[in-house]
């Protein structure tokens, strides 16, 4: 079950308005060209921004997400009719093969248990062509990004099309070992509705990430910096070996 911020229709509608700068996706577009990928699976595609951008470049794109409300938003965008949208998780994928799998933003961190993460990676390996790559980002635990997740630092008041002004902010509600839980709060000025969404992310260190990839037969090819968050995130590039197993 997806979090309310992605599954609630009112929150899905305002999602892009609260995060309009998607320059973080530029690096993914560049890597698609760098790796000469023609077929891409975007896991946790959300409202479909990256999937539609890649479709506009003539790529074969699959957008996968468990949240129906987010996919409904995605399907309203330019080039959305050139994307194969699938509702579900990596474990629900049909038989297919792609050159590249992406997980942008916080997607890789929503898998909280080792087993859930392992099964997701195994599903990814199955759909990758030999020599194909998985690219994802993950926040560095030592940067403690959650220290900035408070109302003072994150408050926004946004004029959302067909909705009016909405206030929103995030606050941490629990930090336990590598798990950080937080709550988004949105206040809709047009009718006074207050909607909250709770989420939890797991902050894995690079050793954990590398070990987990190796255990499912994916080779870490390179670890880069996220251009939009230098020094604060890993951008992991893993490759399926060119065997056929």
Query: What pLDDT is attached to residue 243?
Result: 66
Query: What is the average pLDDT value for the chain, to the nearest integer?
Result: 96
The answer to whether the beta carbons of residues 171 and 151 sit under 8 Å apart is yes
> pLDDT band for position 227 (50/70/90)?
confident
Q: DSSP character for 190?
A: T
Identify the burial level of 51 via C-beta atoms within 10 angstroms of its C-beta, where 0-12 means exposed, 13-18 middle and 19 or more buried: buried
Which residues contact residue 197 at a Cβ distance below 8 angstroms, ignoring those fewer than 6 apart? 3, 4, 5, 8, 11, 183, 184, 186
Share of the chain above pLDDT 90, in %: 95
Summarised one tens digit per residue, pLDDT across range 1-15 is 689 999 999 999 999
d(CA 212, CA 208): 6
Three-state DSSP class for residue 76? coil
Cα–Cα distances in angstroms (integers) from residue 203 to residues 94, 151, 175, 195, 221, in the given order: 29, 22, 11, 26, 21
Which residues contact residue 50 at a Cβ distance below 8 angstroms, ignoring those fewer than 6 apart? 22, 25, 28, 29, 42, 102, 104
d(CA 51, CA 172): 30
Domain ranges of the chain: 4-140+203-239, 143-202
Distance of CA 87 to the CA centre of its chain: 14
Which residues contact residue 215 at a Cβ distance below 8 angstroms, ignoring those fewer than 6 apart? 118
Summarised one tens digit per residue, pLDDT across range 142-197 is 999 999 999 999 999 999 999 999 999 999 999 999 999 999 999 999 999 999 99
- For the domain made up of 4-140+203-239, the CATH class stated in words is alpha beta
């Amino acid at each position: 079950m997806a979090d309310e911020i992605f599954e609630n229709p009112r929150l899905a509608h305002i999602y892009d308005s609260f995060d309009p700068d998607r320059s973080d996706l530029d690096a993914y577009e560049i890597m698609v060209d760098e790796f000469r990928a023609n077929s891409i699976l975007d896991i946790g595609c959300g409202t479909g921004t990256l999937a539609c951008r890649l479709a506009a470049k003539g790529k074969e794109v699959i957008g996968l997400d468990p949240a129906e409300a987010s996919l409904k938003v995605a399907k309203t965008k330019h080039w959305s009719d050139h994307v194969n949208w699938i509702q579900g998780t990596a474990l629900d994928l049909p038989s297919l093969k792609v050159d590249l799998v992406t997980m942008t933003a916080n997607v890789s961190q929503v898998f909280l248990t080792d087993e859930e993460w392992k099964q997701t990676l195994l599903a990814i390996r199955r759909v990758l062509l030999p020599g194909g790559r998985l690219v994802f980002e993950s926040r560095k635990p030592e940067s403690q990004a959650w220290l900035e997740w408070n109302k003072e630092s994150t408050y926004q008041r946004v004029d959302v099309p067909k909705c009016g002004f909405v206030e929103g902010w995030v606050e941490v509600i629990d930090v336990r070992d590598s798990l950080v839980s937080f709550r988004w709060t949105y206040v809709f000025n047009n009718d006074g509705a207050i909607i909250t969404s709770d989420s939890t992310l797991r902050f894995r260190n690079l050793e954990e990430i590398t070990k987990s990839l190796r255990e499912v037969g994916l080779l870490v090819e390179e670890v880069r910096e996220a251009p939009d968050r230098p020094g604060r995130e890993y951008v992991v590039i893993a490759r399926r070996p060119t065997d056929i197993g």
